[in-house]
Amino acid sequence: MDILKKLQSGVRLDYEDGLELYGLDLFTLGYFANQKRVAMWGKKVYFNINRHINPTNICKDICKFCAFSANRKSSNPYKYTKDEVLKIAEDACKRGIKEAHIVSAHNKEHDLYWYIDIFKEIKAKFPKLHIKALTAAEVHFLSTLHHLSYDEVLDKMIEAGVDSMPGGGAEIFDEKIRAYICKGKVNSENWLKIHELWHKKGRLSNATMLFGHVEGEKERIDHMLRLRKVQDKTGGFNAFIPLVYQRDNNYLKTDKFLGSGEILKTIAISRLMLDNIPHIKAYWASATLSLAMVAQEFGADDLDGTIEKEAIQSAGGAKSAFGQNLKDFLDIITTSGFIPVERDSLYNELRVYKESGCVVY
């Protein structure tokens, strides 16, 4: 059966099919990805009201693609105190923020118990605030630092009030590329293992893929299929987030920068390959809000959130340092012919907006 017939019939695609998808023209891919997206979510575009908190940029690792960690290309190291993090959370809650997205660098001075204390205090003061925190890379770092098993670290996170896990640290799963771009960070097997353990504890998470650097189409398809395999077992991934590599202020030497067409192709292919992950997020902080909105017609159904303050992508050149306001989100979604839907961190619908910006429910 050729690839177009497979797409028309809806059969599950394999590795060779994934590679063949990259050979299709952009609009054919967009047509099939959009069909699948509309069948699942209609014209809805999801977003949430969130605040990113990055407690430190001092990191033991020097990933070649990273512009966030403090090094000679980013010579402004910082580390927040617990009181500073709590003040950010308090200020955010006063403005109606519903999710604190807490991820950071691998700094031994910010150890597991430093985070546990913060999570407990946030939950005690703001019990309705959803805490999405600690990537699998951070879990691995803290596990190694304290000589604890992954299970023990995850249990302590749950006891302290962490509600869900973000998808960061996945980068690209191919180990040869991983050894080149992020040697010393959690390996792909353990990244997947940590998420699988988290899912088995009844918790949900996201998954990411960093693309547009030194990887190619083969590595992207392999990455997607490894996620699909875990999802078949656990069903615990809420969303897949293809992150566009940011080229500034890092050590990764590459002249292979993706155009918007290749970015949209990869988002469309992810929708077609990941038949068991419900949501595909076009993360506006790495793709720009305009391109992320176009991606809603190429298989994506989510933009992420208002963010308020973003440090990781913007350090690499993205124009996302100060987030987006709600009005901008509503305007660009409605003028693009979609329905804005404010969600919580687990994709429960909170508000559906009409074209005028009024709430439907």
Is position 24 within any domain?
yes
CATH number at residue 246: 3.20.20.70
Residue tagged 């804005």 (tokens): 340
* Cβ neighbours of residue 38 closer than 8 Å, sequence gap 6 or more: none
Strands of the sheet with 99-102, listed across from one edge = 50-53, 99-102, 130-133
- Reply yes or no on whether the pLDDT at 197 is more than 90: yes
The pLDDT, as a whole number, for residue 66 is: 64
Is position 28 within any domain?
yes
Q: Could you give the C-alpha distances from 305 to 18, 100, 126, 188, in angstroms and in order? A: 29, 11, 20, 27
- Span 157-178, pLDDT tens digits: 999 999 999 999 999 999 999 9
How much helix, strand and coil, in percent to the nearest 5, is found in the chain?
A: 45, 15, 40
Residue 289 and residue 303: Cα distance in Å, rounded?
8
Nearest to 334 by CA among 360, 299, 298: 360
Is position 27 within any domain?
yes
Overall number of domains in the chain: 1
Work out the end-to-end distance of the chain between its first and last CA atoms, rounded to an integer number of angstroms: 45
* Mean pLDDT of all residues in 56-85: 75
Residue 103 and residue 50: Cα distance in Å, rounded?
13
Is position 11 within any domain?
no
Burial track 79-92 (b if 16+ CB lie within 10 A, e otherwise): bbeeeebbebbeeb
Q: What is the CA radius of gyration of the chain?
A: 19
For the chain, the average pLDDT equals: 88
- Reply yes or no on whether the pLDDT at 309 is more than 50: no
Any alpha helices (H) in 126-249, and if so which ranges? Answer: 136-146, 150-160, 175-181, 188-200, 217-234
The residue range of the domain holding 110 is 17-352
Ranges 63-77, 112-126, 240-254, 326-340: which has the least confidence: 63-77
Q: Please, are residues 305 and 48 in contact by the beta-carbon 8 Å criterion?
A: yes
Residue 243 and residue 303: Cα distance in Å, rounded?
12
Is position 4 within any domain?
no
* Mean pLDDT of all residues in 261-271: 96
Is position 239 within any domain?
yes
Strands 349-352 and 339-343: antiparallel
* Mean pLDDT of all residues in 93-101: 90
The pLDDT, as a whole number, for residue 65 is: 59
1 pLDDT band, cuts 50/70/90, is confident
Is position 328 within any domain?
yes
Angle among Cα 116, 306, 353 to the nearest 5 degrees reads 125
The pLDDT, as a whole number, for residue 269 is: 98
Nearest to 224 by CA among 2, 18, 3: 18
Is position 347 within any domain?
yes
Side-chain half-sphere exposure of 217, counting CA atoms within 13 A:
14
